[in-house]
Amino acid sequence: MHVNAKTDIYGIIGHPIGHSLSPFIHNAAFESVNLNSVYVSFDVHEENLKDAILGIKALGIKGINVTVPHKENVMKYLDYISDEAKLIGAVNTIKNNNGILEGYNTDVTGFTESLKEHDIVVEGKNAVILGAGGAARAVAVGLSLTGVKSIMIANRSKEKARNLSNYIKNNLGINCIDVTYDDLNQLEEIDILVNVTSVGMFPDINLSPVDESIAVKAKFVYDIIYNPEKTQLLSYAEKHSIRNLNGFDMLINQANHSFKIWTGMNFNKNIILNTLKKKDFVK
């Protein structure tokens, strides 16, 4: 990669951000299609979010991905928000369209495509989502659009869980209720258990959002965390021979959709996967 005065700049904002694989994915993608572009990480604290977004325009940055904890708060600083991002209530992709900042969300498609790729049947199933933030809404919307029977939203903040469950019921017509983590002890089984919190993410790799006693009730466990490759929650699932999936495929799929929003092109997923394998991010 040769960076010069004509190089277009893309990136990702979040906090913390050191764990992100997005720079490796997008830089490999730009190189694979011969685009003079570079993708970098920006560690942005919540109190600096507005200035960071204004900086996109001032610096002429072409596109930005948005990760925790900014996916929801960033919306108020954008000029345009797509219908899917409005439905989800969160933005993970920003395109600088000649000074107009456009917000999109590629998490839903990234999530649902990863389920299809692994032949995970959602229709008619009961799901439990751990967490109630922007990623939780994307996952809940994705499950709803693919025919899930019911959803439980478990979160430490009861109010946040209730707001999300009411939103899903009212906007998508799915039977959705809010519960506490303690309430999960009363369940006999869980068809689909999805963690959308950051609990267990690097560097806190020995933590799990729920105890092993909850994980063992699941028939399928999905943790959208991808670093580490195997979280403590997924280790519980594997220990009990429960089918499980990390967030890597969701990451690749949503990244591809972001890439298309910015460039009008898809990248070759196999090239990206091989690049990450060479760098030892994927075993």
Does residue 71 carry a catalytic annotation? yes
Strand order in the sheet with 8-14: 37-43, 8-14, 63-66, 93-97, 100-104, 80-81
Residue 268 confidence (pLDDT) = 93
pLDDT tens digit sequence for 136-195? 999 999 999 999 999 999 999 889 999 999 999 999 999 999 999 999 999 999 999 999
- Please report how the helices 248-263 and 22-32 are oriented relative to each other, as an axis angle in degrees rounded to 10: 50
Known binding residue 110? Answer is no
Known binding residue 224? Answer is yes
| CATH number for the domain running over 8-105+249-278 | 3.40.50.10860
* Catalytic residue, candidates 50, 57, 62, 71: 71
| CATH number for the domain running over 108-246 | 3.40.50.720
Torsional sign, CA 164, 64, 201, 266: positive
Residue 22 confidence (pLDDT) = 92
Q: Give start and end residues of each alpha helix (H) in 19-157.
A: 22-32, 49-59, 83-88, 107-117, 134-145
- From CA 189, how far away is CA 62, in angstroms rounded? 46
The encoded tokens of residue 129 equal: 């989502």
Q: Where in the chain is the domain with CATH 3.40.50.720?
A: 108-246
Known binding residue 20? Answer is yes
pTM of the model: 0.88
Q: Where in the chain is the domain with CATH 3.40.50.10860?
A: 8-105+249-278
